[in-house]
Amino acid sequence: MDSSSSSSSLSSMLLPSILKQLITILFIFSAILSSISHCSSSSEEEEELYVVCGRPYDCGNLKNISYPFWGTDFRPRYCGRQGFQIECGNNESFIEINRQKFRVLGINQTGNIMKIARSDLYDTLCIQNDVVPITLNYTHFDYAPNVGNLTLIYGCQKPLSSLHNLTCYLGNGANQTIYYKADDPFSNIEIPFEAPRSCKPIKVPVLRSSIDMNSPKVGREELEKAVEEGFDVDYNYQVAILCKECEGSGGRCGSNVSTDEFLCYCHKSKPYTVMCRPGESK
C-alpha cells in the first residue's frame, strides 16, 4: 500500500475521534453557560425582590408605610401579608376587612396601630341602605383599649322615648329617625333594652375621647364627627417582631405568596425565614 493511501486511511480514523471530542467539549461548555445563566437569572430575581420591597406605600397623608402592608404597583403582594392590602384612590387609602371597606386614616408602625373608619357612614349617618354590623378579622386585628361603642338604631316603626334621636330628611317628604346611645364597656354587645322588631341596632366603634354622651348638646354633627374620626385597631405584634429581626440583619420584610409565611429578602443572597446571614452573598 502506498503512502498516500495510508495517510488517507489514518485521517479517516482520526476525524470521528476529533469530532467526538469537539462535541463533548461543546456540550460541557454549553452546560456551564446554561448553569451560569440560570444562577445569574435566579440571583437577579432575588435581588429584585429585595429592591422592590424597599419601596414604601405612599398615598395622601400615609407616607413611608412598609411591611406588613402592601398595595399598588410599587408594593406588590410578596412585600406584605395576607389581609393587609391597602388601596389608594383620590389620595385616600382603603382596606377591606371581612368584606367590609374601611378608610385608613393613619398607621403608627412604631406602636402597631392602624386608625380606620367605616366607609359607608363616613360622610353621613343618614343613609337609606341597610347598615350592617362590622366584624374584625381577629387573626390580624383587635380593638385598641381606647375604643368604645356607639349604638345607632335604624328603622324603628315605634318611638324609643328613652333614647336620644336625630332626624334625617331623605327628600320627597320622607324622614328617618335614628336613635343612639353609647355602650360602656366596649365588650358589652348586648342591647340593654327591649327594642321593637323593626329596629335595627348597629354597633359603631369610636374613640372614647371623640364624644361625650353625657352632654345635652350631642346631636347629628357631633355623632358624625365621632364616626369620621375613626377608631384604633392593633395589628399582630408577632409580625412586627419578625420584621425587626430581618431589618436588623440588613434585610427587607415580605412573605411567601403561596403560604403567607414570613420571608426576609436579603441583598445579593437568597431569602431566609427570619434574618439574613452575613457572608452568604452570591
Q: What is the mean pLDDT of residues 24-49?
A: 56
Write the Ramachandran bin of 156: left for phi over 0, alpha for psi from -120 to 50, otherwise beta: beta
Kindly report, residue by residue over 227-238, the tens digit of the pLDDT: 999 999 999 877
191 pLDDT more than 90: no
Listed range (131-145, 190-204, 262-276) with the worst mean pLDDT = 190-204
Which residue shows C-alpha cell 376587612? 97
pLDDT-above-90 percentage for the chain = 43
User: Looking only at Cα atoms, what is the longest distance across the chain?
Assistant: 129
- Looking at residue 130, the DSSP 8-state letter turns out to be P
Q: What is the mean pLDDT of the chain?
A: 81
Q: Which of 32-36, 124-128, 216-220 has the highest mean pLDDT?
A: 124-128
Q: What is the mean pLDDT of residues 243-255?
A: 94
The answer to whether the CB of 68 falls within 8 A of the CB of 239 is yes
Between 161 and 270, the more confident residue is 270
Q: What are 165's strand-pairing partners? A: 179
Residue 214 binned pLDDT confidence (cut-offs 50, 70, 90): low
Residue 188 binned pLDDT confidence (cut-offs 50, 70, 90): very low
pLDDT of residue 20: 59
pTM over 0.75: yes
How far apart CA 236 and CA 113 sit, in angstroms, is: 9
Nearest to residue 24, comparing CAs of 13, 36, 32? 32
Q: What is the mean pLDDT of residues 69-79?
A: 90
Which residue shows C-alpha cell 414570613? 262
pLDDT of residue 171: 75
Q: What is the mean pLDDT of residues 77-83?
A: 94
211 pLDDT more than 50: yes
